[in-house]
Structure 1
Amino acid sequence: MKKILFAVLLFLLSATAFADTVSINRFIIKENPFARQEIAVVATDTADHILENVNGRFAFTINGFSYNLNFQNGTAFVRQKLEKSSFMYVKHANESGTHSVLYYVYKSDDKLTPIRISWMWLVAIPLLIMFAGYLFKRFLVIAAVILIIFIYFNYHNGLSIPTFFESIFDGLKHSLMG
């Protein structure tokens, strides 16, 4: 009888050890509805519906700074005010890999508008500028000036060169992996 009781107890304990853990594989950035000039990170599924079963603390990296965000019903608030429009590179690592998203958060008056930036645009814009400069030789200097302005705009708004390339490589990696 003791062996059966011990086996049942051992089975129950092992079943709870293998319980389904909640992980964040996709997320979006939204304006925090409860605080001005702050953002919220929202855990979503592939159809961008909020995963309300996500609760607890999860480690995120935002523009190179580490944050332990407290998720409640799929939403966590970043308690850092944005003073101006800027790029936000948000990254989260879990058991299934590293997930990252690049946003440009446009600030107008008291409203924040996050715009998701695809890695394809980061590649396409400089290539189009260089191609136009190559195609029309007399516009080569203008194309170089536009490319320098593009790089300056990105850097001035918080998108450094290493983050620029990291975002492109993460996008390539995720598009090739599926």
Structure 2
Amino acid sequence: MKKILLFVCLLVFSVGVSFADTVTIRHFAIKENPFAQSEIAVVAVDTSGNILENVNGIFSFTVNGFQKDLRFDKGTAFYHEKLDKSSFLYVKHVDEAGTHSILYYVYKGDHKLTPVHISWIVLLAIPVLLIILGYMFKKFIVIAAVIFIIFIYFNYNHNLGAGTFFESIIDGLKGMFGK
């Protein structure tokens, strides 16, 4: 009788566990941390930008190449690294649903951080446009080369290296063509 009761309890428990909903983060956004100066918050959102308050727990993220476990509470996690200056932040989350990554430029004002989402299309379009203009107008080639060097220097000076640049474009292409 005890074995049957144990078996029934184990069966009921396993059915409850098998139907448990796992929480995944498919979309997220970067916002200014309202509780700390010069810090950001990672917010789990849906496709329309609403905060997913059912996201709780520890999730692994990579921020500019450094892996960090972020603790989410009601859809919000705080990244406790202070930003000294305006810079690019490449935030990536890998789970069983796939790789989700976003490139942001965080502008640091007097006492405020303003994150701006940078699309991979814009990131790719600037150098391609400079190359096309340099090819079309031979007199413009020197100016295009100077603008391209300034573009590379600006990106590198604000923490966007060549590896992150190409990784952002490749992740965007993967997302566009369905991984």
1:144 aligns with 2:142: no
* Partner in structure 1 of residue 53 of structure 2: 52
The Cα of 1:119 is off from its aligned counterpart by 0.6
The Cα of 1:2 is off from its aligned counterpart by 5.3
* Partner in structure 2 of residue 104 of structure 1: 105
Partner secondary structure for residue 130 of structure 1: helix
* Partner in structure 1 of residue 38 of structure 2: 37
* Partner in structure 2 of residue 61 of structure 1: 62
* Partner in structure 2 of residue 15 of structure 1: 15
**Cα distance in 1, alignment partners of residues 170 and 56 from structure 2:** 30
5 Å-filtered alignment, 1:112-127, equals 112-127=113-128
The Cα of 1:9 is off from its aligned counterpart by 1.3
The Cα of 1:97 is off from its aligned counterpart by 0.9
1:84 aligns with 2:90: no
Partner secondary structure for residue 37 of structure 1: coil
Q: TM-score, normalised by structure 1?
A: 0.95
Q: TM-score, normalised by structure 2?
A: 0.95
**Cα distance in 2, alignment partners of residues 26 and 107 from structure 1:** 24
The Cα of 1:7 is off from its aligned counterpart by 4.3
Deviation track 1:78-102 (CA, whole Å, cap 9, x = no partner) reads: 1111010000000111111111100
- Kindly provide the amino acid, as one letter, of the partner of residue 38 in structure 1: E
**Cα distance in 2, alignment partners of residues 16 and 98 from structure 1:** 29
* Partner in structure 2 of residue 168 of structure 1: 169
- Kindly provide the amino acid, as one letter, of the partner of residue 155 in structure 2: N
**Cα distance in 2, alignment partners of residues 121 and 177 from structure 1:** 20
**Cα distance in 2, alignment partners of residues 152 and 15 from structure 1:** 57
**Cα distance in 2, alignment partners of residues 4 and 29 from structure 1:** 52
**Cα distance in 1, alignment partners of residues 81 and 2 from structure 2:** 57
Partner secondary structure for residue 177 of structure 2: helix
**Cα distance in 2, alignment partners of residues 8 and 109 from structure 1:** 63
Partner secondary structure for residue 177 of structure 1: coil
**Cα distance in 1, alignment partners of residues 83 and 15 from structure 2:** 45
- Kindly provide the amino acid, as one letter, of the partner of residue 171 in structure 1: G
The Cα of 1:13 is off from its aligned counterpart by 1.8
The Cα of 1:3 is off from its aligned counterpart by 6.4
